[in-house]
């Protein structure tokens, strides 16, 4: 797990020690762009936010004074369009993990129409560039009503519309029995789910790879957090927070490159034999430059997660999308209660609206609602 630098922040005249991450994840735990964009950019302006560790309940502070890059995660990042100019003004780069599923007919998600979400995707690409918006169809879920072929039809429909708008399609197989929250939520809401077998995973992967080739998409295909090896279909294991993608998008940010220990080099002049002698694995950049990957997995993540270290600032039980297969909400009731609380105090130190008060050198939380 990353050991971040720290900064002292001034809260009501009291100096408080805060983590000062360089790379921020916003967020695996909740949909900050869809519901908390106003809060997040207000906290950036104020310089800090407060956060509760979901595993031990310890409260801490996050300073944004060293932040150089943000990875956003969202099913409806449309509100970001009004704020991206702020990041550009501050010279803070970002990319978006955009979960663009199609479970409208089955009512598994409560989100804007597919057409609107595809339009949002294209607007974000026009603003940030093709590589900065990653398409996720996540999770791939099987039910009595959703077969492998029906899933592929859904992917085909979206994939055709996103052609030339993204470089990659990331997906995962719904692993329901592994996540107690997901299993409980599906069963509580009467969703007749099926577990994927290895044979079905291979069948889906083979057909997806064939579709990607035959339809001329040429997306990089990758799985998120999956144990199964699908390399024979040209499907890689994804790194959702990826040093290499961050470098490609922000290689001019010397402070960020120094933090990640990435060396940006000039392509050497060709020899007499026309050989530029680039090292194995060199990744090309504009301006006749290149770098070699130094990506390292965050050991604090799941076994099959390839992400580098980043500070996640979200909190569980705060996402009002209320997807039937949600892993981040213990229950819909908990998420709705925290969403109501947030709206009473939309610019509090925390997403939930819980207030932090001084208590000697410590600070303690008060407030209502549910938290993970």
- Does residue 358 register a pLDDT over 90? no
CB atoms within 10 A of CB 29: 23
- Predicted confidence band at 362 (pLDDT cuts at 50, 70, 90)? very low
Q: Band the pLDDT of 16: cuts 50, 70, 90.
A: very high
Question: If pLDDT is split at 50, 70 and 90, which confidence band does 369 have?
Answer: very low
**254 vs 269, residue with greater confidence:** 254
d(CA 304, CA 227): 6
- Does the structure show a pLDDT above 90 at 361? no
Average pLDDT of the residues of the chain: 91
pLDDT exceeds cutoff 90 at 285: yes
Q: Tens of pLDDT along 31-46?
A: 999 999 999 999 999 9
pLDDT tens, position by position, 228-266 = 999 999 999 999 999 999 999 999 999 999 999 999 999
Question: Residue 55's pLDDT is what?
Answer: 81
**What tens digit of pLDDT does each residue of 286-336 get?**
999 999 999 999 998 989 999 999 999 999 999 999 999 988 999 999 999
Residues 112/149, Cβ–Cβ less than 8 Å: no
Q: Determine the distance from the C-alpha atom of residue 64 to the mean position of all C-alpha atoms in its chain, rounded to a whole number.
A: 18
Percent above pLDDT 70 for the chain: 93
Q: Give the strands of the sheet with 311-312, arranged side by side.
A: 235-237, 220-223, 168-173, 133-140, 93-99, 69-74, 23-26, 311-312
Going 211 to 215 to 220 to 225, the CA torsion angle's sign is negative
Structure token digits, residue 10: 């001034």
Residue with tokens 């692993």: 175
What is the DSSP secondary-structure string of 28-88? SSS-HHHHSHHHHHHHHHHTEEEEE-TTT--EEEEE-TT--EEEEEES--GGGGGTHHHHH
pLDDT value for 366: 32
């Amino acid at each position: 797990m990353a050991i971040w630098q720290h900064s002292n922040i001034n809260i009501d005249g009291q100096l408080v020690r805060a983590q000062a991450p360089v790379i921020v994840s916003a967020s695996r735990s909740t949909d900050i762009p869809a519901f908390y964009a106003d809060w997040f950019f207000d906290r950036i302006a104020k310089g800090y936010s407060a956060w509760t560790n979901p595993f031990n309940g310890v409260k801490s502070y996050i300073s944004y004074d060293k932040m150089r890059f943000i990875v956003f995660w969202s099913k409806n990042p449309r509100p970001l369009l009004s704020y991206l100019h702020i990041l550009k003004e501050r010279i803070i780069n970002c990319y978006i993990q955009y979960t663009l599923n199609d479970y409208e007919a089955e009512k598994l998600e409560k989100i804007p129409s597919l057409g609107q979400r595809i339009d949002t995707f294209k607007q974000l690409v026009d603003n940030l560039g093709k590589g900065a918006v990653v398409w996720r169809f996540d999770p791939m879920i099987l039910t009595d009503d959703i077969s492998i072929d029906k899933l592929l039809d859904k992917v085909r429909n979206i994939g055709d519309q996103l052609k030339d708008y993204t470089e990659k399609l990331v997906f995962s197989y719904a692993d329901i029995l592994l996540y107690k929250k997901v299993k409980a939520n599906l069963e509580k809401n009467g969703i007749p789910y099926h577990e994927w077998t290895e044979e079905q995973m291979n069948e889906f992967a083979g057909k997806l790879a064939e579709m990607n080739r035959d339809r001329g998409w040429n997306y990089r295909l990758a799985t998120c957090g999956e144990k199964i090896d699908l390399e024979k279909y040209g499907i890689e294991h994804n790194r959702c927070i990826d040093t290499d993608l961050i470098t490609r998008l922000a290689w001019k940010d010397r402070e960020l490159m120094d933090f990640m220990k990435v060396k940006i080099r000039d392509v050497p002049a060709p020899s007499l034999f026309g050989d530029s002698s680039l090292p194995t694995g060199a990744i090309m950049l504009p301006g006749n430059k290149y770098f070699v990957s130094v990506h390292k997995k965050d050991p604090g993540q799941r076994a099959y997660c390839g992400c580098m270290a980043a500070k996640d600032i979200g909190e569980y039980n705060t996402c009002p999308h209320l997807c039937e297969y949600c892993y981040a909400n213990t229950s819909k009731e908990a998420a709705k209660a925290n969403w109501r609380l947030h709206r009473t105090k939309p610019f509090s130190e925390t997403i939930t609206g819980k207030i932090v008060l001084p208590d000697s050198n410590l600070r303690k939380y008060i407030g209502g609602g549910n938290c993970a």
